[in-house]
Amino acid sequence: MGKNILLVEPGYKTKFPPLGLMKISAYHKKLGDTVKFVKGINHDAGYDYWDRVYISTLFTYHWRTTVDTIKYYKRLVRGDSSRIVIGGILASLMPQEIWRETGIMPITGVLSFVDAFGDGTALVVDEMIPDYNLFDGLPQEYSLIDDSYFGYSTRGCIHKCKFCGVHHLEPKFIDYKGIKPYVMEIKRLYGEKRHLVLFDNNILASKRFDQIINDILELGFEAGAKVCYKNKAGRMSYKQRYVDFNQGTDARLFTKHKAKLLSKIAMHPLRIAFDSIKLKERYKRAVVLAAEYGIRHLSNYILYNYKDTTEDFWQRLKTNIDLNREYGLTIYSFPMKYIPLNAKDRSYINKPNWNWYFLRSIQRILNVLKGAVMPREDFFYRAFGESKDEFQVILYMPEQILMYRGAEKKSDEKAWITKFQNLSNGEKKELLMTLCQNRTRQKLVTAYTQTKDRKLKEILEYYIPPKTISGNLSLSFNLE
């Protein structure tokens, strides 16, 4: 008689499905077990007996949500920790912390070895074809599950960057996984998928990169490829296919040969990391090589709040705007705030280069842009300023002025800028310190009433929103 298996992903938001749980589902179904998936804390799950409960983990800053989920299901199995298996990124990076908090020691790393769960099988979980039927009948949580093949053509990375957890999660670099039979089996079991999404952490480091590209071509993902695709209404039509190296490519490893190979597949977009201003010339060279071989659509990861300054951050964004103009490209920048590998929330600040208020200002801007910095010059200059100095002023702006920049409150913006520019450097530092130390409206009002400096008091008025302003106002830029 088969086991009753429950798969749980904590209730944080993510557009990608939990690939690990999909493979565990395939593993158990192959053993003849019954499998159910739930998202977050599901009270209905308490009405059934579960032989085993698997809980996936993602980023460490989801700590509270993840731990609360583990504790709930531990109570559900009446404290029998032997029936709960925890794995994933957070679990692999912070196993001792999980143990201390929940009393359960997680499995760490990739399940790339035989009989990972002690069931006496010869199966390797990581080599299983993921179960695309796992989410059938459930609300659509994952926007890409119906139209994408998900997988890896390599594992690990040749670098050991301190800001990155890959070398902890996948310490051995495997330069070829054989994506072709994997994708063909997904197609056989679950039907044709439109796109190919690969989660390789450094695909350009593979000595078998040529073979990987050839595999992708043989799978039908050549440049310009289309697939006969059924839409939600059931009608058949031909749709453009895309290949997405979702974790990005390494600008340091670009060559003419690799750029030429990338141009042969349906790459859209080509993602390239730009983690440090020190990599500026290498990054530009990679983008120019891509442009030479006709790759026009790119996406760029911009790490900030690590060892960079606000000026470095602006310069990297501006570099993309210049490349767009010079080579006729479309590069979307995606700023990514650095959070340490053991952080349990998103509050980390890299002082003294960054501070709470500047990080908050950037987040306000990114909320407007839905996380992406658009390639249009006028858009960029309006959002981030036409110079590093102007960007520095924008970082100081009160929320209600930043919200309405370019709209009907232009006079407030101009008046605030005038008052801000009349402050001495010392007064600007005091303003910033006041804003960072008094993060709630009530505390800021108290600080305002206690301030004796006239110029500082006048400008602080802009940071105290009127009681009539709702905290739910949407942020928007008028860029016309």
- Positive/negative CA dihedral, 414, 416, 422, 426: negative
Q: What backbone torsions phi and psi does residue 196 show, to the nearest 5 degrees?
A: -120, 115
Amino acid code (one letter) for 78: R
Nearest to 316 by CA among 330, 328, 333, 329: 333
Q: Which amino acid is at 404?
A: Y
Peptide bond into 269 cis (omega under 30): yes
Question: Which structure tokens are listed for 265?
Answer: 């597949």
Question: What is the reported pLDDT for 129?
Answer: 98
Contact, 75 vs 46, CB < 8 A? Answer: no
Q: So what's the pLDDT on residue 227?
A: 93
Give, as one character, the DSSP assignment of residue 455: H
Residue 227: φ, ψ to 5°: -135, 145
CA 56 to chain centre: 17
Concatenate the DSSP letters of all residues of 156-190 into one string: S-S---TT--HHHHS-S-B----HHHHHHHHHHHH
Please give the structure tokens belonging to residue 34: 């019954």
Per residue of the chain (480 residues), give pLDDT as tens. 799 999 999 999 998 999 999 999 999 999 999 999 999 999 999 999 999 999 999 999 999 999 999 999 999 999 999 999 999 999 999 999 999 999 999 999 999 999 999 999 999 999 999 999 999 988 777 877 889 999 999 999 999 999 999 999 999 999 999 999 999 999 999 999 999 999 999 999 999 999 999 999 999 999 999 998 766 677 788 899 999 999 999 999 999 999 999 999 999 999 999 999 999 999 999 999 999 999 999 999 999 999 999 999 999 999 999 999 999 999 999 999 999 999 999 999 999 999 999 999 999 999 888 888 989 999 899 999 999 999 999 999 999 888 777 665 556 899 999 999 999 999 999 999 999 999 998 999 999 999 999 999 999 999 987 653 334 333 333 333
What are the two backbone dihedrals, phi and then psi, of residue 361, each rounded to the nearest 5 degrees?
A: -60, -40
Give the model's pLDDT for residue 431.
Answer: 97
Closest CA to 35 of 47, 20, 50: 50
pLDDT at 143: 74
pLDDT of residue 474: 36
Q: What is the pLDDT of residue 144?
A: 78
Specify the pTM: 0.92
Distance (Å, rounded) from C-alpha 404 to C-alpha 42? 41
| Extended strands (E) in 317-390 | 330-337
Angle CA(326)–CA(327)–CA(333) in degrees, nearest 5? 90
- Residue 20: what pLDDT? 98
* Cis status of the peptide bond prior to 352, with omega within 30 of 0: yes
Q: How far apart are CA 300 and CA 314, in angstroms?
A: 14
pLDDT of residue 410: 58
